[in-house]
């Protein structure tokens, strides 16, 4: 999900200097794109489509029965995340829609992925969890570039969704950034910067907004409410 602005907004160099000192002023009717946990209804065009299963487990468990483990944005986990988000970036650009799923471990302790859901431009409903899977983190794209959305960093709702599920999260942006949500510390951190993942051909870096290497949940809330 990403923060929605009520009209086109340009974030040039002067904007970045000002917001570093005083925060960003956005319209008071700011809304956020939604990434929903299994069983919830997406807030905008809430129907989702399966884009293909990456998991071999056929039986679905209810969310309350799913165990979780600590995510580590390195090694095999990070390699798998980068691989799937690289593909989903292109899918998102083609469909003008966010895509989302989970990464976790199968019963043998090997990395696995859930099916990937395709949402709408402004939402994505997370898939059901295969039985036997231990969740590590959610993952989702921020779709395509738009002057109506602040897409290049996570939102407080991104963080709160992961915190509610007791998992971390990975988020890719139209500019090709990769972020990691740490639910324990309530922070989000850039794992790699602009262009480390595929970029939307229409992406405009001057509209990035106040991108920092790291944000706290409180930082994001202050920006969204300013």
* pLDDT value of position 42: 31
pLDDT tens across 146-190, in order?
Answer: 998 889 999 999 999 999 999 999 999 999 999 999 999 999 999
Position 66 scores a pLDDT of: 85
Mean pLDDT over all residues of the chain?
80
* Mean pLDDT confidence for 24-37: 41
Please, what is the Cα angle at 147 between 143 and 148, to 5 degrees? Answer: 80
- The stretch 39-65 carries a mean pLDDT of 39
Q: pLDDT band at 36, cuts 50/70/90?
A: low
Average pLDDT of the segment spanning 192-203:
98
Q: Give the tens place of pLDDT for each residue, 120-150.
A: 987 899 999 999 999 999 999 999 999 988 8
Q: Which sequence spans correspond to the domains of the chain?
A: 3-225
R_g of the chain, CA atoms, integer Å: 17
What pLDDT does 62 receive?
Answer: 55
Residue 49 and residue 27: Cα distance in Å, rounded? 32
Burial class from Cβ neighbours inside 10 Å (0-12, 13-18, 19+) for residue 218 reads exposed
Q: What is the pLDDT of residue 56?
A: 33
pLDDT band at 3 (very low <50, low <70, confident <90, very high): low
By the 8 A CB rule, do 153 and 145 touch? no
What are 78's two structure tokens?
A: 């990070």
pLDDT at 40: 39
179, HSE (Cβ side, Cα atoms, 13 Å): 30
């Amino acid at each position: 999900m990403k923060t929605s602005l009520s009209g086109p907004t340009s974030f040039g160099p002067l904007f970045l200097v000002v917001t570093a000192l005083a925060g960003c002023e956005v319209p008071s009717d700011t809304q956020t794109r939604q990434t929903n946990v299994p069983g919830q209804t997406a807030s905008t065009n809430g129907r989702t489509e399966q884009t293909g299963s990456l998991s071999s487990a056929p039986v679905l468990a209810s969310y309350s029965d799913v165990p979780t483990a600590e995510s580590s944005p390195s090694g095999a986990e990070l390699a798998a995340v980068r691989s799937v988000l690289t593909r989903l970036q292109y899918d998102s650009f083609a469909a003008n829609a966010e895509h989302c799923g989970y990464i976790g471990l199968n019963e043998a302790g090997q990395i696995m992925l859930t099916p990937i859901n395709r949402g709408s431009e402004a939402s994505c409903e997370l898939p059901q969890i295969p039985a036997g899977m231990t969740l590590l983190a959610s993952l989702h794209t921020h779709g395509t570039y738009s002057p109506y959305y602040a897409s290049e960093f996570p939102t407080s709702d991104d963080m709160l969704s992961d915190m509610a599920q007791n998992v971390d999260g990975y988020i890719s942006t139209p500019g090709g950034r990769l972020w990691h949500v740490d639910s324990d510390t309530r922070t989000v951190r850039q794992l790699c910067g602009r262009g480390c993942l595929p970029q939307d051909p229409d992406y405009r870096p001057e509209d990035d907004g106040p991108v920092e290497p790291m944000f706290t949940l409180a930082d994001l809330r202050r920006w969204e409410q300013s």
